[in-house]
Amino acid sequence: MRAARRAAQFAKFRITELNLVPLVDTLVSIVFFALTTATVGELSPVVPGVRLPEAHVGAAALQQLTLGIGPQVTLGGRPIMSTLDAARAPSNDPTQPLLIPPLYAAMRVAADSIRRADRIAFGQPLDVPLAIQGDKSMRYDLLARMMQTARLAGFRNLSLQVSKQEGPVDSTAAATGAR
């Protein structure tokens, strides 16, 4: 008698059906955003105002501290100086004629911040790569100054990020071009 009453009480709470629609909705959202962030989340964006050169090969361009060289020189999206000023800036170190002092100061701040976060001794070179996104019309002497300034600030690993071009490389090998 008591057992029958107890069974009748529990019968009220028996699940007769389970609404799976919210579960499906949530899973759709999770799968979508998981796929999106897994494929493009760690990749690097293009610095605005920079016309990048194009290449068919190269490694995946991952999100890194980026030095942008367009009309403005930017570090991590923050404008440092105009490119014209950077090209004209004289070095203040006679032993390092390629140094760009304002850019060096900004890079030292960024490098010291990384050193503090990674507990690396001050003055030690960093393994964290610095990505460079430069305008394709830039002369090499300016790029050389930028790279040298970055290395003096502690960034020994540099990565040149360019636009990826699809399709095969034009492999016209003209033997007449060699002498």
Partner 1 sequence: MASLFHRSKQRRAERAPVTAHGNINLVPLVDTLTSIVFFSLLTYQGETMMALTSFDLSLPPVVVTTPQQASQVKSEKDVLNLLLAVRVSNDELDVEHSGNGGFRQAIKGLDAAALGTLQALMTQIRQQYPQNKDVLVIPSDDVAYDNIIHVLERLRLAGFTGISLGTRARGGPAAAGPAR
Q: What residues from 94 to 123 belong to the interface with partner 1 (CB under 8 A)?
A: 97-98
Q: Phi and psi (nearest 5°) for 7?
A: -65, -40
Stretch that binds partner 1, among 4-12, 55-63, 73-81, 111-119 (CB under 8 A): 55-63
| Contact with partner 1 (CB under 8 A) among 5, 10, 90, 123 | 90
Q: Is residue 38 a contact point for partner 1 (CB under 8 A)? A: no
91: its two tokens: 């070095």
Q: Which CB atom, from 121 or from 175, has the smaller least distance to partner 1?
A: 175
Q: Is residue 128 a contact point for partner 1 (CB under 8 A)? A: no
Residue tagged 């100061």 (tokens) = 105
**Residue 1 beta carbon to partner 1: minimum distance, rounded to whole angstroms:** 32
Give the whole-angstrom CA distance, residue 74 versus residue 103. 9
103: its two tokens: 């850019």
Count the residues of the shown chain that bind partner 1, applying the rule CB under 8 A: 72
| Contact with partner 1 (CB under 8 A) among 1, 2, 17, 167 | 17
Query: Taking CB under 8 A as the criterion, which residues in 133-152 touch partner 1?
Result: 134-145, 147-148, 151
User: Within 13 Å of residue 167, how many CA atoms lie on the same side as its CB?
Assistant: 5
Query: Taking CB under 8 A as the criterion, which residues in 150-169 touch partner 1?
Result: 151, 156-164, 169
Give the whole-angstrom CA distance, residue 135 versus residue 67. 11
Q: Is residue 67 a contact point for partner 1 (CB under 8 A)? A: no
Segment (H or E) for 150: helix 140-153
Q: Are 132 and 161 in contact (CB under 8 A)?
A: yes
**Residue 109 beta carbon to partner 1: minimum distance, rounded to whole angstroms:** 23
Q: Which CB atom, from 71 or from 79, has the smaller least distance to partner 1?
A: 71
Helix (H, G, I), strand (E, B) or coil at 25: helix
